[in-house]
Structure 1
Amino acid sequence: MSPAQPDRAALVSAARESIRKGSKSFAAASRLFDRTTRERVWLLYAWCRACDDIADEQDHGRAAAPRPLGTRLDAESRLATIRTLTELAMAGEETGSPAFDALAVLMRETPVTRPMVEDVLAGFALDAADWRPRTEADLLRYCYHVAGAVGVMMAAVMGVPAEDEDTLDRACDLGLAFQLGNIVRDVWEDDANGRCYLPQEWLAEADIPPGEVTKPHYRHALVPLVARACAMARAYEASARVGAGRLAFRQRWAVLSAAEIYGGIAREVERRGAHAWDHRVRVGAGAKLAMVLKALGQARGQPAAAAKPAPSRRELAAMARR
C-alpha cells in the first residue's frame, strides 16, 4: 500500500473511537446509516472534531492536558496548523494524523470537493479572528461556515452529487438550523467566554448594551431575540426536511432523527422563555429514543412542502468571497 494511503480500516477504527469519545448523540444517530455511509460519517466527524480541538486547544471538546509555559500556540498559528494538515490531505498526501488522513479517504470515495472543505475552514478563520456578527446576514454567514457547510459535506458523504445544488442547499439549511439552536442555548456559556453570536443590531434594537446580554434585568428583553432566531431555525429545518426526502431510506431516517433531536434544542429553549438559561438545555435518552421513532414514521412518509429560506447556501458562500 502506498504510504500516501494509510490503511482504511485503521482510519475507520480511529474515527469510530473519536465519535464515541466526542459525541454520544451523534455516535448513536450514526448507527441508523448503512455500513458504508456510517463509516464515511465517522471519517467526516473525525476530521471536523480534530479541527475543532486544534482550534480550541481541547481534546474531543473537553479541556486538554495543560501545556508547558511558552508552548501554547496563538489562534492564528492553530488555524495555520489546521490549514496545513487539511491541504496535505486534499493533495492526497499522508499527514501523520488519522483524522486528517480520514479527509483524504472521503475525497477519494465521495463527491466532497475542495470548495466544500474550504467553506468549513473559513469558519475556523472567523473564530480565530474573534469575529462577531453585526447584522442578521452576518449571523447566518457565521452559521453557514461553522455548520451549514458541514451539512453540505455530510450530503456529499451520503452520495449527493456536487451538481445537485438544490439538495445541497437544503442540507446546508439543516446545519443552519442546528447552529441557530446551539447559539440560543449557549448564550450564557458564550458570554462567560467573552463571546456573543446574536447580532449587534438585534441587541441594539432591544436596548441591550454590549457585554450585558446576560445581566438579569435584560433577560426578558433577550427572549424575543431568541424567539426570532428560533423562528429562523424552524424555517431552515422545514426546508432541510424536503431535501432529506430525496435520500435513501436509512439516510433519510438518520437525518430526520438528527432534525428531531438537535432541532429539539431550539424548541425547548424557546419554550422555556426567560428560564431557558437556568440550566443547560439537554435532550435525555428517553426523549431521544422517542424522537428516533418519530423520525422513523416521518421517513416512511412524504415531507411537507417548504420553500428555501433566504439567504440560501450559495448567497451565504458568496458573502465570504466579496
Structure 2
Amino acid sequence: MGGVRALTPLQAAYAGSREINASHGRTYFLATRLLPPARRPAVHALYGFARVADELVDNPGLDPAGDLLALERALKDAFDGGPTEEPVLLALADTVRRFGIDRDLFGAFLQSMRMDLTVTDYADQDELAEYTHGSAAVIGLMLLPVLGTVSPPSEAAPYASALGEAFQLTNFLRDVGEDLDRGRIYLPADHLAAFGVDRERLTWARVHGPDRAVRRAMAHFAALAHATYRAAEPGIALLDPVSRPCVATAAQLYRAILDEIAAANYNVLTRRAVVPARRRAAIALPGAARCVLARLAGRAT
C-alpha cells in the first residue's frame, strides 16, 4: 500500500497561504471558493503576503521598520529567483511569475505599510488617497491578471482599484474602534469635523458609545463606501466570465457589512459589525450557481 504523497515545498507554501486566508479573511476566502480551482491558490498567495506584512505593523515587534525592510529585501530576492525560507514568499513569487503581476505594485503596498508606523491621522481625502492607493487599490490591480479580463486590462484597472478602495473603506468603518485603540484614525479629519467629530470625541465614544454626531459621521462614511461600490460595479462585466461570480459575491458580502453597521445605528465604536453566517450563505449560494453556469458556458464555447 502506498503512503500519502508528501507535498513539494511549493505545494506546502500554497497550502500555508490558504490556511492564512481561511483563518483571517473569511469573507475573501468564501468568495475565492467561487473561482476555478486553478486560480484560487494565487489569491491565497496574495492574501497571505498581505497578511504577513499587515501583522508586522498591527502587532509590531521591537523594530517593525526593520522587519518591513527585511521583508521587502526577501521579497525582491524571491522575485529574482533566489532561495527563500519564507513559504508565503515562495508561493507569492510563483504567482507573480505565472500571472505576470507587476512587481512595482508590491513596493507601493509596502510603502503604505510603512505609513502605518508613523501616520496616525489623515487631514483630508487627498492624504488618505496616498495610503489607500498602496493598501487597497494596488490589491485590486494585483488580482486583475489572476481574474482575467475580456477587454484590455487597462480598461478594467480603474474599476479594480475602486473595488479595492471600497473594501478598504468598509474595513475602516467597521474597525474604527480597534484602529483607535492602536492610535490610528483612517477617516479623514475634515469629513469628521463637518459633523463636529474629532479624535477626542471618538475616544469618548469608544468608552461610552457613539452620540448623534458620531453616528451621523459614520453614516456619511457608509454612504461614501456604497458610492465607491457603485463606481466599481461596471468593472465586473469586464472580467473573465468565470471570475465574475467571485468578485460580485465578494462585493455583496462586503456591502452586507455596511448593512449590519446601519442596522446597529452606526455604532462601530463599542461593537464590531459581523455578517451572520446564514446571510453569508444566502449571498454565496446564488454566486455558486452563477459560477457553475459560467464554467459550463465556457466549456461549451
TM range (shorter): 0.7 to 0.9
1:16 corresponds in structure 2 to 18
Which residue of the partner structure matches residue 205 of structure 1? 194
2:219 and 2:266 in contact (8 A); partners too: no
Q: Is 1:79 matched up with 2:46?
A: no
Runs of 4+ in 1 over 6 A off after TM superposition: 297-301
Q: Cα deviations across residues 5-42 of structure 1 (Å, max 9, x unaligned)?
A: x8432322222222233233332322111011111111
Tell me how far apart the structure 2 counterparts of residues 78 and 180 of structure 1 sit (CA, whole Å).
27
- Of 104, 116, 126, the match for 2:93: 104
Counterparts of 1:197 and 1:164, CA distance in 2: 30
CA-to-partner distance for each residue in 1:159-218, whole Å, 9 max, x for gaps?
A: 359962231111111111111111111112222222111112123333334333142486
| 2:141 corresponds to 1:152 | yes
Aligned to 1:255: 247
Moved more, 117-126 or 252-261: 117-126
Q: 2:41 aligns with which of 39, 42, 46?
A: 39
- Stretches of structure 1 that go unaligned for 5 or more consecutive residues are 1-5, 59-71, 302-322
Residue in 1 that maps onto 2:229: 237
Give 2:134's aligned amino acid. H
CA deviation after TM superposition for structure 1 residue 294, in Å: 4.6
Whole-Å separation in 1 of the counterparts to 2:262 and 2:133: 22
| Higher mean C-alpha displacement, 244-253 vs 217-226 | 217-226
Q: Read off the aligned partner of 1:194 and give its amino acid letter.
A: G
C-alpha RMSD over aligned residues = 2.6
**Residue type at the aligned position of 2:30:** A
Higher helix fraction: Structure 1 or Structure 2?
2
8 Å Cα contact 1:160/1:168 also seen in 2? no
Match of 2:220 in 1: 228
In the alignment, is the contact (CA less than 8 A) between 1:19 and 1:27 conserved in 2?
yes
TM-score by length of 2: 0.84
Q: Contact 1:55/1:124 (CA < 8 Å) preserved in 2?
A: yes
The equivalent of 1:306 in structure 2 is none
The structural deviation recorded for 1:295 is: 4.2
Structure 1 length as normaliser, TM-score? 0.79
Determine the C-alpha separation between the residues in 2 that align with 1:45 and 1:173. 18
158-167 or 196-205, which deviates more: 158-167
Render the CA deviation track for 1:193-245: whole Å, top value 9, x for unaligned: 22111112123333334333142486311223222222221122123221111
CA distance in 2, matches of 1:111, 1:211: 46
Look up the equivalent residue of 1:232 and give its one-letter code.
Answer: L
Quick check: 14-23 or 254-263, which moved more?
14-23
Question: Which digits, 9 at most, give the CA deviation of each residue in 1:115-155, with x for residues without a partner?
Answer: 22122112111112234211022223322321221121111
CA distance in 1, matches of 2:211, 2:137: 29
Q: Which residue of 1 aligns with 2:178?
A: 189
Residues 1-322 of structure 1 aligned to structure 2 (within 5 Å): 7-57=9-59, 72-160=61-149, 164-216=153-205, 219-295=211-287
Distance 1:271 1:260 in 2: 16
Q: Name the counterpart of 2:298.
A: none
Alpha-carbon separation, structure 1, partners of 2:162 and 2:266: 27
After TM superposition, give the deviation of residue 277 of structure 1 in Å: 3.8
**Partners of 1:140 and 1:176 within 8 A in 2:** no
1:43-92 Cα deviation digits (max 9, x unpaired): 1122112212233337xxxxxxxxxxxxx432311221221122212222
Alpha-carbon offset, residue 104 of structure 1: 1.0
Shift of 1:287: 0.4
Distance 1:24 1:198, change over 3 A: closer
SS of equivalent to 2:97 = helix
Please give the alpha-carbon distance, in whole angstroms, between the structure 1 residues aligned to 2:161 and 2:238. Answer: 14
**Where do 5+ consecutive residues of structure 2 fail to align?**
1-7, 295-301
User: Percent identity of the aligned residues?
Assistant: 27
SS at match of 2:202: coil
Contact 2:229 2:251 in 1 (8 A): yes
